[in-house]
Structure 1
Amino acid sequence: MSQNNTESAQSAPGKGIKARLKLPKGRRSRIILGMGITALLLALALPFYLHAISHESTDDAFVEAHVVSMSPRVAGHVARVLVEDNQLVKEGDLLAELDPRDFQVALEAARARLRSAQAAVTEAQAKASAAQNVLAQKEAGLSSQHAGLAQVQAEVAEVRAGYERDENDLDRMRKIVEAGAVSRQEFDHVKAQEAMTRAKLNSAKRQVDTHSAEIRQARATVAAAEDELRQAYAQVDIRTAELHEAEAEVEQAELNLSYTRITAPCAGHVTKKAVEPGTYVQVGQKLFSIVSPDVWVVANFKETQLADIASGQPVDIEVDAYPDVTFHGHVDSIQRGTGSRFTLLPPENATGNFIKVVQRIPVKIVLDASEADKNYVLAPGMSVMPSVDISEAGGAGSLRAEGTSAQAPAAR
């Protein structure tokens, strides 16, 4: 009896533990279900977590493109408008045309002034040629006068030699006559010969003086001819300058006439057309814009997100207009400056109270070549959400990489 009681007492604790471990069937099912749901949630959340730590994204991003504002370079009335809003045009297509009649008249007037200037240049050149011929004649006359003077001077020398001979003969004859060695007749003959040669010498001297005066006069006429030639050349220069001015006026008139035809500088779509035929437009007045088909994305990332973003990294792009489509591109470049730094009125943090605000830096994202062929309209200003895969190294365009390279020389 006591032995049975002892055995029952020893087996009682084991039965109590088993009773406590044995749970109700419904509660055990709930635990298993909870553990399964937890495992499923972890399995579903793990890809999102991995994506979150390997990607940087922002909703402050928009589509950008080249937008060319078209305006006239001359004022006038619009004769024709050949495009409509949202029309696709090619480079060089005629978009609008101003009334060209006034500009054609101005061109004809400029061409008439050009012909007049050409005739004036021809006339001035003819006068210069005539003045040059006159100068040549005057110089030839001066040379002839110099030659005549040289000849007269030679004659003077010859007559002077004869005179000196006859003068010496007269002196000798006078002494001989006083001695009574010759007759009075011979003395008179020698005396007459001396007087004749003296007269010839005086005449030759007067001819020298005459030729000298003529040479001085010829030199004066040559100088006057040279002045006339210089004046003629100056007139040629003036007429030539007027000719160049007339040529420039013709070119300007031709340009103004060509400006009446407004053509597309690039391919794209016409937007915001604000002109109709008959409208008078001023120089620089905006008529319409052309949006280029080449688009890209500008994403304004927080400065705290840029540490691992580098050029070349792949980007997945979601466009609000196409929620079921994912576009692909890559980081092209990072702007050197925050968006607030390039505003019209940049913040002046050196004065007043300063409140630190996380800045945003624009990042240019270029769509891949294959993405440009998709039949989706991507217009400037459309909202997008890019997601940059920072797990790939990309190029050397990240702020961290450039900062390291900039400090490398100082480390050496």
Structure 2
Amino acid sequence: MFKLIRSPLEVIAVLVGIGGVLLLLYAWHLPPFDTSVETTDNAYVKGYVTIVSPQVSGYITDVPVKDYQKVEEGQLIAKIDDRIYVQRLEQAQAALDGQKAALLNSQQQELSARASIASSDAQIDSAKAAEKHAQLSWDRIENLVTKGISTTSDSEAAQAGLDQAKAAVNQAQAALEVSRQNLAAIIVNRASLQAAVSGAEAAVHLADIDLQHTSITAAKAGRLGEVGVRLGQYVAAGTQLVALVPQDVWVIANFKETQLEGMKIGQPVIFTVDSLGHAEMKGRIENFSPAAGSEFAVVKPDNATGNFTKVAQRVGVRVSVDGSQPLSAQLAPGLSVVVSVDTDSVSGESVASK
């Protein structure tokens, strides 16, 4: 072979050719450079980025936080002028007091109606007693008239007294029925009064909720983005004030579909962070995307054409970050990372079974 090489240029050319072949084999992970470690630089740190917005409208009276400040759960971020909402709460409370007073009045009316029923019962007893006395008087007069002892005028007076006593009984019974109907009406109306009280209580709770919403607080501990709200600014419900980023982060690595073989949930992961001087950190595969990334695109590719070209699809792999690492506190959503997975490590459930 060496006899065929006649000059140093030919030696260099041969060496360059061999180097190119070796570089190609290394780039495509072909023998003797095949490896079980799959790597991708299409990976980023992810986290929950929450836009803080008010639920009520008003003028901002206080902004006690600054850009990129760390906040605790429940800490005040901004305060809306609450004078109107305080008055609305007092107004709702007054309406509730009025409805409760109406309900108490209804209960008092029920007691009065029951007392009226008792009085009507007593009047019936009295009228029946008077009717009995008139009946006895009429019976005596009738016997005397039959014997010719009593006069016609006495008979007519006794008859009139008996009729009057019977009418009094009927009147007392009618009065009792009226009292019972009044009681029934009061009890039926009670349901509407109780519903009115419930509605007034709900209005008080809603007014109290609106009043509480004038204090805009952090829903979770984390760090703030740029504070976009200013003192004296008028904000409406849904206005974006500031972004809140909790400390919880993870990594989404988009591997090619040809790289997924052998990957399993629970496998250890090594990743480097560009912003931290390519510092090496550890994590584990937490889950696999249920579909390739192209399936979640707004405009999906249409492969049913004559000029189809096969392209390896990307599948998202969620990687949990080991929180015990000192640098984990410096990870922020959006940072670029390079993720490496050793597919020979045996652990957990493979992507094929998902």
TM-score, normalisation: structure 1? 0.70
TM-superposed CA distance for 1:216, in Å, is: 2.3
* Counterpart in the other structure of 2:54: 72
Counterpart for residue 317 of structure 1: 271
- 8 Å CA contact 1:120–1:239 kept in 2: the answer is yes
Quote how far apart the aligned CAs of 1:265 are: 0.8
Deviates more, 1:99-108 or 1:346-355: 346-355
Which residue, out of 331, 335, 339, partners 1:386? Answer: 339
Alignment of 1:119-268 (within 5 A): 119-146=101-128, 148-149=130-131, 155=136, 163=143, 193=147, 196=150, 208-268=162-222
Structure 1 stretch 344-353 or stretch 239-248: which is displaced more? 344-353
Gaps of 5+ in 2: 1-10
Residue matched to 1:408:
none
Structure 2 distance, partners of 1:342, 1:82, is: 40
- Please state if 1:399 is matched with 2:354: no
Distance 1:152 1:380, change over 3 A: same
What aligned pairs does 1:356-367 form with structure 2 within 5 A after superposition?
A: 356-367=310-321
1:133-171 deviation per Cα after TM superposition (whole angstroms, max 9, x unaligned): 212211332244345546666x489759x95xx9xxxxx
SS of corresponding position for 1:321: helix
Deviations 1:376-400 (A, max 9, x none): 621111111111111112112x232
Whole-Å separation in 1 of the counterparts to 2:178 and 2:251:
79
Change (3 A) 1:218 1:321: same
Shift of 1:225: 1.8
Task: Give the deviation of 1:289 after TM superposition.
Answer: 0.9
Separation in structure 2 between the aligned mates of residue 157 and residue 309 of structure 1, nearest angstrom:
114
8 Å CA contact retained: 1:159, 1:197: no
Residue type of the partner of 2:236? Answer: Q
Where in structure 2 are the equivalents of 1:14-33 lying within 5 Å? none
3-state secondary structure, aligned to 2:46: strand
- Cα distance between partner residues in 1 of 2:209 and 2:79: 14
Partner amino acid, structure 2, of 1:294: D
Identity rate, percent: 34
Change in Cα spacing, 1:200 to 1:357, as seen in structure 2 (3 Å) is farther
Whole-angstrom distance in 1 between the partners of 2:229 and 2:342: 46
SS in 1 for 2:320: strand
Larger Rg: 1
The 2-side partners of 1:253 and 1:358 are apart by 57
CA distance in 1 between counterparts of 2:155 and 2:32 reads 131
**SS at structure 2 position matched to 1:243:** helix
CA–CA distance in structure 2, aligned partners of residues 322 and 331 of structure 1: 22
Contact kept in structure 2, 1:159 and 1:200, CA below 8 Å: no
Conservation of the 8 A alpha-carbon contact between 1:334 and 1:363: yes
Determine the structure 2 residue equivalent to 1:344: 298
Matching residue of 1:112: 94
Matches within 5 A, 1:271-350: 271-347=225-301
Q: Residues 51 and 318 (structure 1 numbering): CA distance in 2 closer, same or farther, change over 3 Å? A: farther
Structure 2 letter corresponding to 1:263: T
The CA deviation string for residues 85-111 of structure 1, in whole angstroms up to 9 with x for no partner, is 111111111111111111112222222
In the alignment, structure 1 segments of 5+ residues that lack a partner are 1-29, 167-190, 403-412
User: Is residue 63–residue 383 contact of structure 1 (8 Å, CA) maintained in 2?
Assistant: yes
CA distance in 1, matches of 2:308, 2:123: 96
Q: Which segment drifts farther, 272-281 or 201-210?
A: 201-210
| In 1, Cα distance between equivalents of 2:231 and 2:159 | 94
Counterpart of 1:102? 84
Question: Shift of residue 199 of structure 1?
Answer: 9.2
- How high is the TM-score relative to the length of structure 2? 0.81
CA distance in 2, matches of 1:350, 1:208: 107
Size of the alignment, in residue pairs?
Answer: 333
- Counterpart CA distance in 1 for 2:174 and 2:305 is 83
SS at structure 2 position matched to 1:53: coil
Other structure's SS at 1:362 match: strand
Distance 1:353 1:197 in 2: 132
Q: Structure 2: how far apart are the matches of 1:151 and 1:349?
A: 109
